[in-house]
Amino acid sequence: MEKRKFGFSLLLFILYFLGMFLLYKTRNVPYQKIINEQVVQINKNKIQTEKEIKQEEEISISNKIDTSIGTLEIPKIRLVKPLYSLESSLNNVDKNVTILKGSTYPNVENSHLYLAAHSGTSQVSFFEDLGKLKVGDTFTITFQQKKYLYQIQRIETQEKNGTISVPVTDEKQAVLTTCHPTQEGKQLVVIANFQKETGSI
């Protein structure tokens, strides 16, 4: 009789234990699922945050590149235009006065700055009046909050072949070029020598 009672009690204990275990698993699975979903969401948020930070950094770099680095001012033809770095998307002849490759900025010793723009009648024909300039006329280039004064020494008509022919000198120079206003297949090349710094802004 005692053995039967013990066996029955053991069976009840085992059934109770199994019931509690199944109840624990039943309750724990949704909880664990919630935890897993929260971890996934946190990881998604982290990825999104890192992506947003990268985008903000790219925008910041782009904004710095697309910020003007200086100004070209030619009083005689009433021209004042911003200049953009060689790396900028705005340094484009179809958008602005363009700094050509091979240029060095005015703050460099014996620098040679080459600037080009369209002539004609379009909205971006910033050098349409370049032919009105004469030897002796002056213009300024502002760069890094300093103004550099240049005086025109020569004005030449050259073949329009994708290059500019300018004698290499030890003098700091700025060269302006555009399509010749009246001669097809020709380009106007205005060569100016640096005179002095006229102050800071």
Which residue bears the tokens 């103004």?
147
pLDDT at 21 exceeding the cut of 80: no
In this prediction, residue 62 has a pLDDT band, given cuts at 50, 70 and 90, of very low
Q: E strands, the chain, where?
A: 70-74, 79-83, 98-99, 112-116, 138-143, 146-159, 173-179, 186-200
In this prediction, residue 184 has a pLDDT band, given cuts at 50, 70 and 90, of confident
pTM: 0.68
Burial 110-132 (b: 16+ CB within 10 A, else e): ebbbbbbbbbeeeeebbbbbbbe
By residue count, the chain amounts to 201
* pLDDT tens for each residue of 100-119: 999 999 999 999 999 999 99
Average pLDDT, the chain: 82
| Weakest-pLDDT range from 38-47, 68-77, 100-109, 140-149 | 38-47
Strand 173-179, strand 112-116: pairing: parallel
pLDDT at 167 exceeding the cut of 90: no
pLDDT at 27 exceeding the cut of 60: no
Q: How high is the pLDDT of residue 165?
A: 87
Q: Assign 52 to helix, strand or coil.
A: helix
Q: Positive or negative, the Cα torsion across 81, 82, 84, 89?
A: negative
* pLDDT tens for each residue of 71-86: 999 999 999 999 999 9
